[in-house]
Amino acid sequence: MTHCDADGPHEWFRRMISNCLQYARAAHAEGRPIIGIMCEFTPREIIMAAGAVPVCLCGGSAATIPAAEEHLPANLCPLIKSTYGYSVLRNNPFLEMASLVVAETTCDGKKKMYELLSERYPMYVLELPQKPHEDSGLAQWCETLRRFKAELELRFGVPITDEALRAAIANMNQERRLRRELAALMKADAPPLTGRQLLDFKSRVAGMERDLVQLELALVALRSQTELPARQNRVRVLMTGVPMVHGAEWVLDLVEDHGGLVVALENCTGLKPILEDVDESSDDPIHALAVKYYHLPCSVMSPNDDRLNLIRELALEYRAECVIELVWQACITYDVESYRVKRLVQEEIGVPYLGIETDYSVSDSARITVRVEALFEAVLQRRRSGSPAAPVSAVQEARPDDKT
C-alpha cells in the first residue's frame, strides 16, 4: 500500500460520531452504563473497569451556543457554552443516554456550569488540587480517585477489581501509544499527514477495539507510504492553547489553508494527554492513575511550568518554525498564561509567536487570516535569510495592537 488517504482508517474516523453512537447504543442496550466526561483529568480507566463506557461530552458546535446563553453569560468560553447548550436543547444523544456525568474542579466557568447541569443530570464532581508539585496535592488527588471508584461501585453495584483496572490501563496505554506513534510521523520533513488529518484520528469513546485496529492500520499504511506529498514549503507550526474538540477545528483549518502545516498540537486534543502512560506494573493501580493524570499540564494548575517545558521540547522535536497559541474567548487561565508562552517562544525558543483569541463563530476569520499570513511571511523571510534569529519584530509591526 502506498497511500492511506483513500483507504480504511481515514474513512473510519470520518464516521467517528456514528461509530461511537452505534457502540454506545449497543452497550446501553446490554445494560452497560454510559458515563459522560468533560476533561482530560478524568481517568477513563476507572470508568472502563466498572464495565461502563466513558464518552467525551465536550461541545464543538456553535449552533448550541444561543440556547446556552439563555442560562449562561454570553461572555463565557464557547467550549463551556456549546457543551451546556446541548443539554438545553437535549440534542446530544450521548448525554441523554448517560447514567452519570463526571465533572471536575478545573476552571471557574466549568465548575459553575456543572452546578446548573447537575439540576438535570446525575453528576459526580472530582475535586482536583491545583498545585502540581506538592506531594499533598497528589495524595489528595489519589484520595479523590479512590472515592470516585467507591462511588461507581456503589452506584452501579459492581466491584472494581485491580485486575479490571489493569486491563483498562493496558487498553488506554495501547491507545495512547498508537496516537503517539501517529503524531510522531509529523516529525518528518514531508509528513504523510496534515495536522487536520492527524486530529481526525480521534474518538468520543475511549478504548474501542475497532478504533485501535484502525489506528494500527493507519500506522502501517502511513509508515509504508512512498509517494510523500510535497509539504516542505509549508510552514511548520506548533499549536498550543485550548482544546479543539470535534466541530471546533476551524482555526487549525485556517492555518493549514494559508500555507501552514501543524506538525505538533500541544493541547488536550493533541499530544498533552497521551505523552505519559500509566504504570502497568504498579501494585496500586489507583495510585498509578493518580500520578499520570496529576501530571497533565493544564493552565488551571499553578504554577504550570510543565506546560512551558513541554512546548519547549515539542518545538525542538518537531522543528517548529513558529508557535500559534489559540485561546477561546473568556478562557482566563490560558489567556493569562499566554504571556509566559509568548516570552518563552520569542526569547528562548527564538521563533515567531502568534496569539489568537476567538470563539466558535468564525466571524473574525478575515482578521485572523491577515495575522496568520503576516506570521508566515515572517517565517519565510527568516528562511530566506538563513538567520537563526526569529524576525519577531516583523510580525509585531504588522499588528502592534495584537498579541503577536
206 touching ligand SF4, by CB under 6 A = no
Q: Does 173 bind ligand SF4 (CB under 6 A)?
A: no
What minimum distance in Å lies between the beta carbon of 108 and ligand SF4? 8
Considering the rule CB under 6 A, would residue 79 count as an interface residue with ligand SF4? yes
Longest dimension (CA), the chain: 67
201 contacts: CB under 8 Å, gap ≥ 6: 9, 13, 179, 182, 215, 218
Which residue in 44, 81, 110, 149 binds ligand SF4 (CB under 6 A)? 110
Nearer to ligand SF4, 76 or 379 (CB): 76
Considering beta carbons, is residue 107 or 392 the nearer one to ligand SF4? 107
Least Cα distance to 334 among 363, 313, 311 occurs for: 311
Where in 297-316 is the site for ligand SF4 (CB under 6 A)? 298, 300
Shortest CB 265 distance to ligand SF4, Å: 12
Segment near ligand SF4 (CB under 6 A); pick from 2-10, 34-42, 183-191, 372-380: 34-42
Q: Is 328 in the site for ligand SF4 (CB under 6 A)?
A: yes
β pairing state of 260-265 and 353-358:
unpaired
Beta strands 322-328 and 34-37: pairing type?
Answer: unpaired
Best CA proximity match to 168, nearest among 181, 144, 186, 152? 152
Q: Which residue has the cell 470563539?
A: 359
Pairing of strands 123-126, 53-56: unpaired
Could you give the CA distance from residue 194 to residue 186 in angstroms, rounded to a whole number?
8
Q: CA-CA distance, 368 to 62, in Å (whole number)?
A: 18
Examine residue 117 and tell whether it contacts ligand SF4 (CB under 6 A): no
Q: What contacts 305, CB < 8 A, 6 or more positions away?
A: none
Pairwise CA distance, residues 241 & 82, whole Å: 18
Q: Is 41 in the site for ligand SF4 (CB under 6 A)?
A: yes
> Does 107 participate in binding ligand SF4 (rule CB under 6 A)?
yes
Return the residue of 268, 288, 314, 320 that touches ligand SF4, per CB under 6 A: 268
- The number of residues that bind ligand SF4 (CB under 6 A) is 20
Using CB under 6 A, pick the residue from 37, 80, 100, 164 that binds ligand SF4.
Answer: 80
Around 363, how many Cα atoms within 13 Å sit in the side-chain half-sphere?
4
296 binds ligand SF4 (CB under 6 A): yes
Touching ligand SF4, residues 230-259 (CB under 6 A): 242-243
Distance CA 119, CA 103 (A): 14
Q: Which is nearer to ligand SF4, 81 or 382 (CB)?
A: 81
The neighbouring-strand residues paired with 238 are: 264, 323
Segment lying near ligand SF4 (by CB under 6 A), choices 29-37, 101-109, 181-189, 389-397: 101-109
Query: 130 is written with which cell numbers?
Result: 491545583
Residues contributing to the site for ligand SF4 (CB under 6 A): 39-41, 77, 79-80, 106-107, 109-110, 242-243, 268, 296, 298, 300, 328, 331, 333-334
